[in-house]
Amino acid sequence: MKNTDVKVAAHRIFSQGEERMEILSVLEALEDLIERAPSMPFTGKCMVNRDEILDIIQDIRLKLPDDLKQAKWVIEERSHILAEAQQEADNIIKASDSKIAAMVDEHEICRKAYEQAEVIITNAKKNAREIRLGTREYADNILNKVEEILEDTLAVIKANRDELK
């Protein structure tokens, strides 16, 4: 496969209905371009078309903002879930307060209501904490994946720049 064929294939993927090529696909195209580049004898180096490499790097730059937007969305969604959990906990607490006030007339009913309210509040706090921890872990996993992709991309770019020097 010629270098120009790799570039054409990469652009064909863009035109097949996908909004953007995945970063990994772009990196694979870059890797393929480098692997198929003609070697310079006795040097371990190869000759690549600068414009093709720069085009692929530009494709990577265009894709990165989407990944960053996704990470931002995850953080916003986490905040939304935490707010919903807090609202649910507040509603449960308000409901239990109302129930307690209605049962004040009799001592046994009042005691049972306090016990039940404590169970509800404990469960609500536990659920809110689990949701909070789960969303933090999810957001951390997404951000970790984005970080790994960025590090891999940066390593490839540095290696390519070193090769070009």
- Tell me: the pLDDT tens digits for 35-92? 888 888 888 888 888 898 888 888 887 777 776 778 788 888 888 898 998 999 899 9
Q: How many CB atoms lie within 10 A of CB 3?
A: 19
- As a three-state string, the secondary structure of 142-161 is HHHHHHHHHHHHHHHHHHHH
What the block records as the tokens of 155 is: 């390593």
In the chain, domain spans? 3-164
- pLDDT 10s digits, 113-163: 888 999 999 998 998 898 888 888 888 888 899 999 999 999 999 999 888
Which residue, among 131, 155, 145, 10, has the nearest Cα to 68 in the 3D structure? 145
Q: Is the pLDDT of residue 18 over 50?
A: no
Confidence band for 16, pLDDT divided at 50, 70 and 90: very low
Residue 28 is predicted with a pLDDT of 87
